[in-house]
Structure 1
Amino acid sequence: MKFQKYIPHCMGLLFLGALLFNNACRKIDGYNDIVSNDKTKPGPVTSVKVSNFNGGAYITYALPDSKNILYVEANYAISDKKTRQTKSSYYSDSITVSGFAKSQDYKVTLYVVSRANVKSDSVVVTVHPDTPPYQLVYASLAAQNAFGGVNIKAVNKTRNAVGIVSLLPNANTNSLDIEDQHYSTADSINYTLRGYDTLPKPFGFYVTDEWGNISDTLFSTIHPIYETLMDKQLFQPFVLPTDVPNYQNGYFNLSNLWNNNNGEPGYNTQQPILKSDSKPFIWPAWATFDMGQSARLSRYMFWFRTGGSNEFVWTSGSPQTWVIWGRNDTPVDEVMPADTTQLPAVGQATAGGWINMGKFNAPPRPPHNPLTNEDLATWAAGFNFDLSIDLPKVRYLRLECFHTMGGTDNYFGIMEMSVYGNPK
């Protein structure tokens, strides 16, 4: 796959009009406007020192000896077209300047401002920021074919706010239109755009930041891989001796996982306090089923239990950490690894032939108490989990749960599961 780099022109403006980043001219809290009649001109900062970082610099200084100082102001250009102003309270001996477009020399003009809004003489200092975060992210940007679309990956070591913008030619004008905008502060960026047919797509990608700086554009022709929802009518349990029994057999059955109903009843494993046979309860617990056809799987979705008053949301027996096992040949029973440190690598098999399709974690509970309507809507919509594109075809799946959201770690439940892939 060949990549070319171009500099975008008007696309950055389109992106900035749509993406909700912070205001470019951020002010530092810590001072209040206080009226003063003292019009004495304050002295300038002295003993100025600079410590550069990616995209910015810390400037330390000594303030003049005066009780009439309100703040220190820094004025500077971050690019050929944009300037910023940053203020720092008189309680501080430093100021941060950031948002620079390149790693090069920039002039920063410092003023001491009094409570009567009188400025000192200027002090000009030179900063030389290290490579800005958006450029670091762009240097690692990669796109590859994915099921139903394109997978985009990048490294964001500084964890600064960046946006990755995806472009596609407009069929009528042949101009590049924004297809998607992905905002992230994660150190590892990995996401997939889906919903495309299998015809070649000439995508373009660039990186921007909260100050409107824009990288070059990376172009790549993507060939989406065929993906479809696996036919749930073909699914059926494939019970093996070490599989965990259902809870209240006949109600919370495994087959509820694919009955196209996200509500009650779902699938729930036996709880040890209600165990009705003499078999010892096994944890972690697993269950096995047959999809009825072989396929290269791309992803799956889980819907977890909600309850009538949301009492099961991000708690109870909903899985928090689990593994999906798969195989194409007729399954043999096997006691699965007891913890996640014993797993074979993704794509590799256990001694009994079960292929590790991936270890997964549910999204953590949002920090709101109580949960917001948006949190509840996210829960109700279900969660998507991507599988590695390099996995072989499988027909049989085994779900093994290691930890639950409620921390009980002795039973688990899932309301519905949808599996996607290419059975061709």
Structure 2
Amino acid sequence: MEFILYNKIKSIYLLAFICLINFQGCEEITNYNEIISADKTKPENVKDVRVENFNGGSRILYTLPNSDNILYVQAKYTIRDGVNRETKSSYYTDTVIVDGFAESKEYDVTLTVVSRANVSSDPLTVKVHPDEPYYKLIKRELTTREDFGGINIRTLNPDRQSIGIILLALDSNTNSLAINDQHFSKDDIISYSVRGLSATPKSLGVYVQDRFGNRSDTTLLTITPLPEFLMDKSKFFTYRLASDADLYTDGGWNVDRLWDNNTGEPGWHTEASAKGMPILVTFGMGVKAKLSRFVLWNRPGQYSYSHGNPRIFSLWGSDKDSPQDIKLPISAPEGAQVGDWINLGNFNYPNPPSGAAPTAVTDSDRAFVAAGVNFDVPISSPAIRYLRLNIAETWSGGEFAHSQEISVYGTVEQ
């Protein structure tokens, strides 16, 4: 029995040793500059080269020389005047990808095979012809229009490329266009507004830039932003409906705390809802207005990304003189009509800007919450008199909610 057990143990150790040797033998070399061979023989270059082009780049496939002394294949190329790139591909693969080209035209790519002794083969020139770069395709789809206090920019990015949209505005000191805003995104549909401009004619420019520094042509335009005003909170009033959540009133946490110009405690706070989700609160603005955006201040400090702070919510409105109660759905498409109420937009509160988990937020994340977060209302939304905040999910996932303050912007209609 001891002999059998001893042999089993020996077999286990032997198997572990073989696995270790195999693992070390197959470990990929990532430091291509390290000389790991004394064999100074010049390697042959690749052969049987084939090219597959894609948007802004090409995939070069090849057959490697039959040698154990190869470390990597290097590709050198120019993506635009004065800008060179190089890509390296290890001996584990038969493909090297070259990308970042500024145009859809023919380019030369120089391939060399480099040995483990850092000896290079004779160069081989391969011609590639990448398809239209993404930044040009995205720029072609770009549209602009005037918006409240600024401009709205929209484009399509179906392949979710990392791109930047750069807005230029006339600098009165230099009388030339200068960068006013930079928006970076990988979204498939990009639509955002740049605000803070007065309602007078503005000379602007906009172009698209990719992660390689390639820039599209600049579209020049003149727009007149729509006037935007902060709604007068002194006219706001509570308009409680039966489906609204019950209030937690200890310490003065009332609905009207949402517009008392105090972003500290107390604010608005509900009891744990016996009415189920969503959590609703309703108020009137005292005027009829077409909204542009709102700023929401969630409960700050230790509650920043926890407790009852809204995480997923929508804003509903009504232009009726006395809108009737109805239990709103947890979610609905933008523009959906339910009773006297229309969905003005669906919103997700941003994740912690630091990238930290909601349970481990940083001081900068807390400062972000304390400063208030802006949410744009689609310009297609109708003018309304009453608002309902419809909370589908809080950061704790519980059935109660709280916020400190809301500021609403737009234009009053007569």
Could you say which TM-score interval applies, normalised by the shorter chain? 0.7 to 0.9
In structure 2, C-alpha distance between the alignment counterparts of 1:268 and 1:32, rounded to whole Å: 60
Distance (whole Å) between structure 1 residues aligned to residue 43 and residue 202 of structure 2: 61
Residue type of the alignment partner of 2:408: V
Q: 2:337 aligns to what SS in structure 1?
A: coil
User: 1:31·1:89 contact (CA, 8 Å) conserved in 2?
Assistant: no
Partner residue in 1 for 2:30: 30
> CA separation in 2, counterparts of 1:281 and 1:346?
24
C-alpha separation in 2, matches of 1:385 and 1:170: 28
How far apart, in 1, do the equivalents of 2:29 and 2:177 lie? 40
Q: Using a 3 Å threshold, how does the CA distance of structure 1 residues 353 and 328 change in structure 2: closer, same or farther? A: same
Return 174-183 or 136-145, whichever deviates more. 174-183
SS at match of 1:50: strand
The alignment status of 1:233 with 2:234, answered yes or no, reads yes
SS at 1:423 equivalent: strand
**Gap change, CA 1:80 and 1:29, over 3 Å in 2:** farther
Q: State the shift of 1:387 in Å.
A: 0.6
Looking at structure 2, the residues matched to 411 and 32 of structure 1 have their Cα atoms a distance apart, in angstroms, of 57
Instruction: Specify the alignment match of 2:410 in structure 1.
Output: 421
Q: Deviations over 1:15-48 (max 9, x none)?
A: xxxxxxxxxxxxx993342224322101111222
Aligned-pair CA distance for 1:60: 2.2
SS at match of 1:136: helix
Question: Where does 1:322-401 land on structure 2 (aligned, <5 Å)?
Answer: 322-340=313-331, 343=332, 345-350=333-338, 352-365=339-352, 367-369=355-357, 370-401=360-391
* Aligned counterparts of 2:278 and 2:386: Cα–Cα separation in 1: 19
Letter in 1 for 2:351: P
Question: Any conservation in 2 of the 1:143–1:220 contact (CA below 8 Å)?
Answer: no
Report the CA distance between 1:365 and its aligned residue.
Answer: 4.5
Deviation at 1:348, TM superposition (A): 4.9
Secondary structure of the structure 2 residue equivalent to 1:78 = strand
Structure 1 CA distance for aligned equivalents of residues 55 and 251 of structure 2: 60
Aligned twin of 1:243:
244
Corresponding residue number in structure 2 for 1:289: 283
Paired residue type of 1:135? K
Deviation digits for residues 374-398 of structure 1 (CA, Å, limit 9, x no counterpart): 3333222221110111222212111
Q: How does 1:109-258 map to 2 (within 5 A)?
A: 109-248=110-249, 251-258=252-259
1: distance between equivalents of 2:209 and 2:120?
34
The aligned residue for residue 319 of structure 1 is: 310
**C-alpha distance in structure 1 between counterparts of 2:31 and 2:90, whole Å:** 5
Question: In the superposition, relative to structure 1, how do residues 169 and 248 fare at CA in structure 2: closer, same or farther (>3 Å)?
Answer: closer
Q: Using the alignment, how far apart are the partners of 1:177 and 1:306 within structure 2? A: 36
Q: Indicate conservation of the 8 Å contact 1:315/1:405, yes or no.
A: yes
Unaligned runs of 5+ in 2: 1-27
Residue identity matched to 1:399: L
5+ long unaligned stretches in structure 1: 1-27, 273-279
Whole-Å Cα distance in 1 between the matches of residues 320 and 72 of structure 2? 72
Between the aligned partners of 2:320 and 2:281, the Cα distance in structure 1 is 17
Task: Find the aligned partners of 1:233 and 1:85 in 2 and give their Cα distance.
Answer: 63
How big is the shift at 1:172?
4.4
Q: Deviations over 1:249-296 (max 9, x none)?
A: 562111111122222212111214xxxxxxx53422211111122211
Corresponding position of 1:101: 102
Q: Is the 8 A contact 1:295 1:393 kept in 2?
A: yes
Amino acid at match of 1:319: P
> 1:407 is matched by which residue type in structure 2?
G
CA distance 1:298–1:73, shift in 2 (3 Å): same
The 8 Å contact of residues 51 and 128 in structure 2, kept in 1 or not, is answered as yes
Q: Residues 70 and 114 of structure 1 are in contact (CA less than 8 Å); yes or no, is this contact kept in structure 2? A: yes
Structure 2 distance, partners of 1:175, 1:133, is 28
Deviation at 1:120, TM superposition (A): 0.6
Displacement, 1:67? 2.8
Give, as a single letter, the amino acid of the residue that structure 1 aligns with 2:191. Answer: N
Q: CA deviation digits over 1:322-357, x for unaligned, max 9?
A: 2211122223332233331xx3x534532x321221
TM-score where L is the length of structure 1: 0.84
CA contact (8 A) 2:314 2:344 kept: yes
Identity of aligned residues (%): 45
Shift of 1:401: 1.3
Q: Per-residue displacement from partner, 1:83-127 (whole Å, max 9, x unpaired)?
A: 211112223322110100111222211100123322112222222
C-alpha distance in structure 1 between counterparts of 2:380 and 2:275, whole Å: 35
Contact 1:242–1:333 (Cα < 8 Å) also in 2:
no
Alignment check: 8 A CA contact 1:227 1:422 kept: yes
Q: Distance in 2 between matches of 1:29 and 1:191?
A: 44
Rounded to whole Å, the distance in 2 between the matches of 1:32 and 1:104 is 31
Whole-Å Cα distance in 2 between the matches of residues 162 and 55 of structure 1? 13
TM superposition score normalised by structure 2:
0.86
Q: CA RMSD in A?
A: 2.1
User: Mean alpha-carbon deviation: is it higher for 168-177 or for 190-199?
Assistant: 168-177
Give the superposition deviation at 1:300: 0.4
> Highest CA radius of gyration, 1 or 2?
2
Hey, what does 1:79 align to over in structure 2?
A: 80
Counterpart residue type for residue 330 of structure 1: D
Q: How many residues align structurally?
A: 382
Query: Relative CO higher for 1 or 2, CA cutoff 8 Å, sep ≥ 6?
Result: 1
Query: Equivalent residue for 2:298?
Result: 304
Deviation at 1:55, TM superposition (A): 0.8
Residue 415 (structure 1) shift: 1.4
